[in-house]
Amino acid sequence: MKIGVPIEIKKHEYRVGLAPHHAAAYVKAGHEVYIQHDAGVGSGYSDEAYTAVGCKILPTIEDVYAKADMIIKVKEPIEHGTKPEYDGVSEYKLMREGQILYTYFHLAADKALTKACVEKKIIAIAYETIRDRKGALPCLKPMSEIAGRLSVQEGAKYLEKPFGGRGVLLGGVTGVLPANVLVLGGAGVVGRNAVAMAVGLGANVTAVDVNLDALTEMDTHYAGRVHTLYSTDEAVREEIAKADLVIGAALIPGAATPQLIRKEHLPLMKKGAVIVDVAIDQGGTCQTSHVTYHDNPVFEEQGVIHYCVGNMPGAVPCTSTLALNNATLKYGLAIANKGYKEALKADPGLMLGLNAHLGKLTCKPVADFHGMEYTDPNTLF
């Protein structure tokens, strides 16, 4: 199979779909791997590092899309490049009928992309909906871990007065209480990592979730150092009024995120409090959230600072590229080695990653959310 790895054309996205030694696994398996010139530079990989393991370098993104049977990337295809040098480039136009795209899609948050996948008749295999034998989300997990940890790191910074925040030190100091950190969706992967970071920095942490078993585990693990709370509208209203930092970490796999914080809730919050909406790539936990970028990551709404970067792990590409590649490699190799049909039929969890197939929408949460026709992928082949 011909594998193509384009540069990411989203602004301030430095990750790459394949690191050199992961690309080498495809070459060793007999596949041709084509890397766009400088695609790996943001993650610390030169073109020479790729050619040393048998990859071929192509000059432009157009060349990569035209050559490849399967595109392996990080972020969803975008209609208009937001990196200055890719202004006017549309990945929608570059996608070809029958071409496999193996990447994050987050289709529930983007109806235009959903329609483009259907209209272009691509085979869209989404990292975020692949499940393993335990029912977990193995290709989403590493980026969720990173985003959860970064959320507290970034939230602590934007609580500082020069950045518009209240001027609160997360861990407090002798004789002064620590900040209150509220993690919505605290029992998920993002939430657990945010809780761990906030506890490590000495904050007063409350984790809110609907998963009582997971909250029980958290109670036991932290021996009372984390307050756990079952999620209801009233509980959320009460806790956001106390919070200095709110981490939005709720997730429904493949579907839009429930908006737990609504516009009318913001006046309840402290002036200069910070919301880090990690779930923004699935629509956001807060009704007033909208996507931001690393060069201008925050905005203020009713006195509350919103941090809503849609590709948080892109800020630490040397870590996140490797973490992502480690998780996605075995599934990508299965697709390349067996062909996508046989790979999907052999692995029900990978079949769940099929979001669109040759003009049909095959992810039910996405179809339901957008009011589009759904096709059961198990009936296709």
Which residues are known to be catalytic?
106, 281
Q: Is the dihedral of CA 66, 67, 69, 75 positive or negative?
A: negative
d(C-alpha 222, C-alpha 195), whole Å: 10
d(C-alpha 203, C-alpha 182), whole Å: 10
